[in-house]
Amino acid sequence: MRVLLSEQQIQNRIAELADAIEPGYRDLPFTIVGVLTGSLIFVADLVRRLEVPLRIALIQASSYRGKATSAGELHIASEILADVRGRHVLLLDDILDTGQTLKHLVQHLIGQGALSVKICVLLRKQGKQVHAVDIDFVGFEIPDEFVVGYGLDFNDEYRNLPYIGVLPKEMYE
């Protein structure tokens, strides 16, 4: 598999993101909301770089089904989401593609009583966004290729790779 972003590149960028995020949340009731399952590893690494008091909450959203590499219907499972009323939320996701997932999640969190919702994505695919959504922090801009590793899956596999790689086309076409 071709490595797009090495383990070291990812870790260096996460340290920079933490420095950019921290000042905005000092002295505020702060909750990180990770979008399962893809953001699992990103959340774990980022929160350990943030030196401000925070809570961690999780929500599940899925828009890909099995071996498909294009988006399908969005499903949000919010039963596991902790109470975000009166909290300033930073939503963390692995990748921004069309924007459908994050657009709906922001609306959901505001509806649950969050005081503010900002977004941080590790990856943003260039030229793919069709749903208007403001992204506050971006790790890396990447070309329109299907990537796996560091939490991102294909058919629920490859999430455990410590780097981000491009899945060869012959594996899904």
Binding site for ligand 5GP (CB under 6 A): 38, 63-64, 71, 93-101, 146-148, 152-154
Of residues 114 and 121, the one with the C-beta less far from ligand 5GP: 121
Chain residues 21-40 in contact with Mg ion, contact rule CB under 5 A: 38
Two tokens, residue 152 = 């991102």
Which residue's CB comes closest to Mg ion?
Answer: 38
Of residues 3 and 51, the one with the C-beta less far from ligand 5GP: 3
- Give me the catalytic one of 19, 83, 97, 156: 97
Is residue 139 part of the contact set for Mg ion (CB under 5 A)?
Answer: no
Residues 65-82 as b or e (16 or more Cβ within 10 Å = b): eeeeeebeeeeeeeeebe
Distance CA(90)–CA(117), nearest Å, equals 6
Tokens 């920079």, located at residue: 16
Contacts of 160 by beta carbon, 8 Å cutoff, 6+ apart: 149
**Taking the complex as a whole, how short is the minimal distance between the CB of residue 28 and ligand 5GP, in angstroms?**
26
Of residues 12 and 107, the one with the C-beta less far from Mg ion: 107
Rg of the chain, C-alpha, whole Å: 15
Two tokens, residue 67 = 């071996």
Query: How many residues lie near Mg ion (CB under 5 A)?
Result: 1
The dihedrals phi and psi of 60, each to the nearest 5 degrees, come to: -115, 135
Q: Is 97 known to be catalytic?
A: yes
Give me the active site residues, please.
97
Residues at the contact surface with Mg ion, assessed by CB under 5 A = 38
